Structure 1
Amino acid sequence: MDHQAVLALYDRDMREGARPDGPGDRVERVGAVVRQVSDAGGWNGVLWSDLNEATADRAIAGQVEFFAAHGQEFEWKVYGHDLPSDLGDRLTAAGFRPEPQETLMIGEVARLSLDAELPDGVRVVPATDRAGIELVVDVHEKAFGTDGSRLRHQLLTRLAHQPDSMVALVALAGDEPVSAARVELVPGARFAGLWGGGTVDQWRGRGVYRALVAHRARVAAAHGCRYLQVDALPTSRPILERLGFHALTTTTPYLSPE
């Protein structure tokens, strides 16, 4: 894989050329910034910017002012290759709070190792109704220790209005949800995104996460996607590398001032 070429393609297609997450969202380009503005339960944030040392502080202040006027918190996603090189420091100086850094990993679907199998007694089912989404949220809350209210709203909205844009999956051991994940699909895009992959503590290390990655990769391939993208935590990166993903850069969410 030509890392620089694929990263440039990702920036152009999925960040600068981003499309709204859901029906209540809109993507706007304001000068050198691309942002998503959502309804009360959606994600608000800066997806892409083309800044330099002379323009960065003014752009940051402009986004803070915009979202504050709308009464919305937001996130500025900073990638390791974004300019200026001290963009993260500038955001921190403006009152933003950095979240843990993740690794942007991309795999070419045709070159991935997709032979992962589920442990005995575990099966994967699609989450196609409210009951299925509740299972996904239940796994999310147990795996990550966070409230799943926003995730529930986002997934139910997509299921109701854009069902073809997402495939959510739950791994069940008997009737117990032990892992969950989703693949997000943009019509005509070369990239599909893998999101929300989480496994409850007692089932980690048994290959469930790996099998869900392989399952979602096959879904993306069936939809004609060439690449898969993951914002990977340190625990996921080794698994993804063994499957054939490449680490291209880092990504750090900066949360807006309170």
Structure 2
Amino acid sequence: MTDAAALLSAFDAQARPAEWEFPEGDATVDRDGPLFRVSWPNRRGFVAGPPDLGVEGDALDELIARQRDFFTARRQSAEWKTWSHDRPADLPDRLVAAGFTPEDTETVVIGLAEDMVAPVPLDGIVLRETRHWADIQRLVAASSEAFGKDVSFLIDYLIAKKDDPDTVIVVAEAEGRIVSSARLEIVPETDFCGLWGGSTLREWRGRGIYRALVAHRARVALARGRKYLQVDASEDSRPILERLGFVPVTTTTGFVWRPR
């Protein structure tokens, strides 16, 4: 199964529902019609649903308003995640009209783990898995430098995930420093794993580290009985992933409500 339609069908059936069927931590999941609303005590909420909401027009506007009002009452922001193949097609426009702000659009790409495992020779660069607090601080500092923005908020997230057996954190070290990192997150009770957080310091790009991190995580995925690797890819990483054999299946955009 490598054609885009079949991969998208597997994604819609397995990976998407996992967002609300297996939420992280102390989440509360509420159902509102076709939607699933996930809320936490102290973090941004999440709203999503199936590919076809089956609601249009005024009824859709009312559904959007209820989610907005719910998080406004909690004084919390929330992300409503959309995919470009979803219905109704005017959902993004209605979210904007209701006061939601779109974030960057990313391309969902999916590949077969068995096709991604070929070893990549690295000169003077060592890959290793880690769960150590000090390494997490170092990798987040390196990621902030690589992305050109502060991502220190990831420290708390990765500290909370470091003992999770379904999360694998991988770093690439050279000359005594972490120069790249990424993680694998196994989606419970599915054939999917997500690849997240890939970043490489500028001076270390073009040496195969990104490909090596994908291959390492693909081998972990296969060892754990998973078939598919999925990435919400930026425009920087999408071409690299496509060259590795990943297939674009849709795009995704988060629309964020921020109470005043």
TM-score by length of 1: 0.91
Of 44, 54, 61, which aligns to 1:57?
A: 61
Closer, same or farther: CA 240–181 of 1 in aligned 2, 3 Å: same
The gaps in structure 1 that reach 5 residues or longer are: none
Return the letter of the residue paired with 2:84.
G
The 1-side partners of 2:217 and 2:45 are apart by: 26
Following TM superposition, by how much is the alpha carbon of 1:146 offset from its aligned partner in structure 2, in angstroms?
3.3
Q: Shift of residue 63 of structure 1?
A: 1.0
**RMSD (Å), alpha carbons:** 1.9
CA distance in 2, matches of 1:116, 1:85: 42
- 1:28 is matched with 30
SS at match of 2:231: strand
- Give the Cα separation in 2 of the matches to 1:142 and 1:17: 32
Q: Greater shift after overlay, 228-237 or 42-51?
A: 42-51
Say whether the 8 Å CA contact 1:105–1:245 is kept in structure 2: yes
Determine helix, strand or coil for the equivalent of 1:100: strand
What is the aligned counterpart of 1:67 among 66, 71, 81?
71
User: Which SS does the other structure have where 1:99 is aligned?
Assistant: strand
Deviations 1:198-239 (A, max 9, x none): 112222222211111111111111110111100001111111
CA distance in 2, matches of 1:43, 1:205: 35
- Percent identity over paired residues: 43
- Give 1:62's aligned amino acid: R
Is 1:79 equivalent to 2:79 in the alignment? no
Q: Structure 1 residues 7, 164: closer, same or farther in 2, change over 3 A? A: same
Separation in 2 of the partners of 1:121 and 1:140? 20
Asked if the contact 1:140/1:198 (under 8 Å) is kept, the reply is: yes
Paired residues of 1:125 and 1:170 also in contact (CA < 8 A): yes
Q: Where does residue 135 of structure 2 map in the other structure?
A: 132
Q: 2:151 aligns with which of 142, 148, 152?
A: 148
Provide the C-alpha distance between the structure 2 equivalents of 1:62 and 1:205, rounded to a whole number of angstroms.
48
3-state secondary structure, aligned to 1:196: strand
CA–CA distance in 2 between the matches of 1:155 and 1:118?
28
Contact 1:56 1:84 survives alignment (8 Å):
no
The 3-state SS of whatever aligns with 1:62 is helix
Note the C-alpha offset of 1:51.
4.2
Q: 1:166 to 1:249 in 2, by over 3 A?
A: same
CA positional deviation for 1:80: 0.7
Give the paired residue count: 254
- Describe the shift of the 1:51–1:146 C-alpha distance in structure 2 as closer, same or farther (beyond 3 A): farther
Provide the C-alpha distance between the structure 1 equivalents of 2:179 and 2:146, rounded to a whole number of angstroms.
9
- For residues 247 and 81 of structure 1, do their structure 2 counterparts lie closer, same or farther at Cα, with a shift above 3 Å needed? same
Q: Is the 8 A contact 1:20 1:36 kept in 2?
A: no
SS at the partner of 1:247? Answer: strand
Amino acid of the residue matched to residue 60 of structure 1?
I
User: Following TM superposition, by how much is the alpha carbon of 1:257 offset from its aligned partner in structure 2, in angstroms?
Assistant: 3.4
Change (3 A) 1:221 1:128: same
**More off after superposition, 71-80 vs 51-60:** 51-60
1:150 and 1:39, CA in 2 relative to 1: closer, same or farther beyond 3 A? farther
